[in-house]
Amino acid sequence: MLIPLLVFFGTLVLVVWRPRGLNVGWSVSLGAAVALLTGAVCWQDVAQVWSIVWDATFTFVALIVISLLLDEAGFFNWAALHVARWGRGGGVRLFVLVILLDALVAALFANDGAALILTPVIIALLRVIGLKPAAMFAFVFATGFVADTTSLPLVTSNLTNIIIANYFGIGYDRYAAVMTVVDLAALAASVLAMWLWFRRDLPRRYSTAEVGDPAAAVIDPAVFRWSSPVLALLLTAYFITARYAVPISVLTGAAALLLLAVAGRWHRGGRGGTIPVLKVLREAPWHIVIFSLGMYIVVYGLKNAGLLNYLQMAYQWLAGQGAVLASVGTGFISGVLSAVANNLPAVLIGALALSPVHSADPVVRDTMVYAHLIGCNLGPKLTPFGSLATLLWLHVLARKGIVIGWGRYMRIGLVVTPAVLVVTLVALALWMRVVG
């Protein structure tokens, strides 16, 4: 049992520390290699892990490619300028509108797209309207926080969602029927929590004089025009094909390929394009493919060593305690595990432990699956190293001159996150009694 534990925590140290800027994909691959060499896992386990993560991983990459294309086309700048105008100079109104925009982007383009792509856009906007550092910090922190807490409504809103939906055979339509309402509860709780924490730092008024024309922010009109119909078609395809077990990565990859063709003007032999397509492809998070496979190989070593039996026992006890307690208990276990051990390994650890759990009430068992996912999406906000997205987000902020120390981050995360998590998990338990 000791070797898989040492490999697991050693791999996490490499992911968080990243000595000499070592890519997270290579950091995790070292851990996976050690797990194989020590016999913690075998090649058959690698094949099993790949069958679990490939669809989720390639879907995530395709979504980020779409996000990067729209960012290069000026889509997010266009949206942010509209939000600044809709705020009509009211600081609190702008704060709420930015959070709503963040939640919408997280729902459509995944939490990483919202946190990593929208954050620089919001920072640029806030500097244009001249907000003070304290107010800017409030907006920036809320953007990073809400990107994760509202990444629940669709299967494609988070990499963890795809993994759980595929692992437990949850269709896109069924998932949306449950989690869209729950996400609204998470959004309401997040808005209230962020406002309560930062209300003294928010400006009463801001100047709209320097807010530019949104239309002028559009760099590639063709990609901009195609974005809405492509996204609408993609969402429709997700729901239509849900019952036919079509891999989500195939649909998302097709949408990404279509937008790449428009951006690269492939129908014109590449003439007239304004977006550097090769640059977008290079910046896509291909390392996540290695990271996902390697991290889950390391986690599989814990399963093989029997270290998940204790977690399974805890889940089994919760399964007999009623929907509300089962939801809150499962969510907090997964949340703490994600905060300490990172949410990507935590989501598979919980899935493996939940698989054999049974309940006299099937609704309770289903509730626990969704609660586990909620814990893995919200729980990482307890610590700055709870998710890879947060670590990368902090890095992006540092490059923009905004440094958030781990102590400052945790003073907020440890207070705000549990409150939002409780509201969301209780809402899940109540809603599951409605949808069955």
Question: Residue 12's pLDDT band (boundaries 50, 70, 90)?
Answer: confident
Largest CA distance in the chain: 64
**Arithmetic mean of pLDDT, 339-350:** 89
* Per-residue pLDDT tens digits for 349-382: 999 999 999 887 899 999 999 999 999 999 999 9
Question: Residue 94's pLDDT band (boundaries 50, 70, 90)?
Answer: very high
Q: What is the pLDDT of residue 58?
A: 93
Query: Looking at 64-68, 147-151, 300-304, 421-425, which range is the least confident one?
Result: 300-304
- Pick 15 or 254 by higher pLDDT: 254
From the number of C-beta atoms within 10 Å of its C-beta (0-12, 13-18, 19+), residue 376 rates as buried
**Arithmetic mean of pLDDT, 56-77:** 92
Cα–Cα distance measured from residue 157 to residue 342, given in angstroms and rounded to the nearest whole number: 18
Residue 119 has pLDDT above 70, yes or no: yes
Strand ranges for 174-315 from DSSP E: none
Inter-residue contact 354 to 313 (CB < 8 Å): no
Which residue in 269, 177, 265, 217 sits closest to 78, CA to CA?
217
Q: What is the pLDDT of residue 82?
A: 93
Query: Looking at 48-62, 65-79, 272-286, which range is the least confident one?
Result: 272-286
Inter-residue contact 238 to 155 (CB < 8 Å): yes
Average pLDDT over all residues of the chain = 90
- Best mean pLDDT range from 9-23, 307-321, 387-401, 410-424: 410-424
Q: Give pTM, 2 decimals.
A: 0.90
* Per-residue pLDDT tens digits for 148-168: 999 999 999 999 999 999 999
Residue 291 has pLDDT above 90, yes or no: no
Q: What is the pLDDT of residue 173?
A: 93
Residue 119 DSSP code:
H
Q: What is the pLDDT of residue 338?
A: 93
**Arithmetic mean of pLDDT, 33-54:** 89
Residue 264 has pLDDT above 80, yes or no: yes
**Arithmetic mean of pLDDT, 99-114:** 90
Q: What angle do CA 98, 103, 105 make, to 5 degrees?
A: 95
Cα–Cα distance measured from residue 185 to residue 258, given in angstroms and rounded to the nearest whole number: 34
DSSP three-state, residue 302? helix
- Rounded alpha-carbon distances, angstroms, from residue 250 to 55, 221, 257, 268, 310: 8, 26, 10, 25, 37
Instruction: Enumerate the H helices of 308-361 as residue ranges.
Output: 309-318, 323-341, 343-354
Cα–Cα distance measured from residue 68 to residue 104, given in angstroms and rounded to the nearest whole number: 16
- Best mean pLDDT range from 189-203, 295-309, 346-360, 399-413: 189-203
**Arithmetic mean of pLDDT, 14-33:** 76
Residue at 20: amino acid letter? R
Q: What is the pLDDT of residue 268?
A: 79
Residue 273 has pLDDT above 90, yes or no: no
Sign of CA dihedral 46, 48, 54, 60: negative
The tokens describing 332, both together, are 């907090």
DSSP three-state, residue 232? helix
- Pick 154 or 21 by higher pLDDT: 154
Q: What is the pLDDT of residue 21?
A: 61
Indicate the Cα dihedral angle 298, 302, 304, 305, nearest 10°: 130
Q: What is the pLDDT of residue 18?
A: 67
Residue 116 DSSP code:
I
DSSP three-state, residue 397? helix
Indicate the Cα dihedral angle 188, 193, 198, 204, nearest 10°: 30
Question: Residue 106's pLDDT band (boundaries 50, 70, 90)?
Answer: very high
Q: What is the pLDDT of residue 226?
A: 94
Helix (H) or strand (E) holding 65: helix 43-73
Q: Which residue has the tokens 């809405």?
A: 228
Q: What is the pLDDT of residue 171?
A: 93
Q: What is the pLDDT of residue 270?
A: 74
From the number of C-beta atoms within 10 Å of its C-beta (0-12, 13-18, 19+), residue 43 rates as exposed
* Paired strand residues for 205: 90
Report the share of the chain in percent with pLDDT over 70.
98
Q: What is the pLDDT of residue 418?
A: 97
The tokens describing 101, both together, are 């925009």
Inter-residue contact 334 to 375 (CB < 8 Å): yes
Residue 344 has pLDDT above 80, yes or no: yes
Q: What is the pLDDT of residue 211?
A: 87
Q: What is the pLDDT of residue 1?
A: 67
Q: What is the pLDDT of residue 251?
A: 95
Cα–Cα distance measured from residue 67 to residue 62, given in angstroms and rounded to the nearest whole number: 9
Using only C-alpha atoms, the chain has a radius of gyration, in whole angstroms, of: 21
Cα–Cα distance measured from residue 153 to residue 373, given in angstroms and rounded to the nearest whole number: 11
Q: Which residue has the tokens 């969704």?
A: 370
Q: What is the pLDDT of residue 283?
A: 81
